[in-house]
Amino acid sequence: MKHIKKAVDAVLPSHVAIIMDGNGRWAKQRGLPRIAGHSAGVHSLREIVKSCTALGIGVLTVYAFSTENWKRPVAEVSRLMELFLTSLRKEITELNKNNIRLRFIGDYKPFPEKLWDSIEEAQKMTRHNTGLQFVVAVNYGGRWDILNALTRLAEKISAGELEAGDINEQLLGSYMALSDLPPPDLFIRTGGERRISNFLLWQLAYTELYFTECLWPDFGPEQFNEALHWFAGRERRFGLTTEQLQQIKRA
């Protein structure tokens, strides 16, 4: 890991966002039930959290359960809820010991009460930690996020606390999830699909998008390092030209 840090330290992303795709296909290839793939994926996530901590990456956001995932078979959703709860209870002590702050975004209130309580307790336990900010998106959708922000702003207008003309990009952004964190620099999607699937639609505006055929349970530190090296080779212009960037660097 140290040689990777030396190679890309100057251009490490401060915030990495990941869609952990391919668990079901990984299990199917091995003649296993889909939940076995999700269980294997928990191990991969644990390894990536360790890698982010070792490299000094500030924020890791993962898509654990989307608003669309409710459409999956009832039995699979139920097993996912059980796995989520078990993993959360198992991992929280270790996360806390390593100074990792665990946060959740999304509308997680529809989840079972036991899971909801565990989510609240985990956030409370780690809220003062100053290391990696580990953000888990559950029952989250980018469209939901934007709609939620607009609804809150509309309530302010209705209450006379805000004028419609006051709304601008900066104000709207402040009502979005993760508004207190830097936007993702690097987006990773495993499993071969090349879309962002309603994940962080607002926040990914200038994010570098990295897609890999590797299924999530097979995605470990080596594959993560490949993504970081790819990111290190990107020229991030944010609407500027290469010449303008060069002038800024010389200034």
Q: Is the pLDDT of residue 157 over 70?
A: yes
Domain edges within the chain: 2-250
Mean pLDDT of the chain: 89
For residue 131, give the amino acid letter. Answer: G
Confidence tier at 210 by pLDDT (50, 70, 90): very high
Residue 160: what pLDDT?
A: 95
User: For residues 77 and 46, which has the higher predicted lDDT (pLDDT)?
Assistant: 46
| Whether the Cβ atoms of residue 191 and residue 216 lie closer than 8 Å to each other | yes
Q: Angle at CA 42, nearest 5°, toward 61 and 100?
A: 45
Which two structure tokens, joined as six digits, stand for 211? 């897609």
Catalytic residues: 21, 69
Q: What share of the chain has pLDDT > 90, as a percent?
A: 71
Mean pLDDT score, 142-163: 96
pTM comes to: 0.89
Backbone angles phi, psi at 33, to 5 degrees: -65, 155
Residue 1: what pLDDT?
A: 47
Listed range (7-21, 48-62, 229-243) with the worst mean pLDDT: 229-243
Residue 44: what pLDDT?
A: 96
Confidence tier at 10 by pLDDT (50, 70, 90): low
Domain 2-250 classification at class level? alpha beta
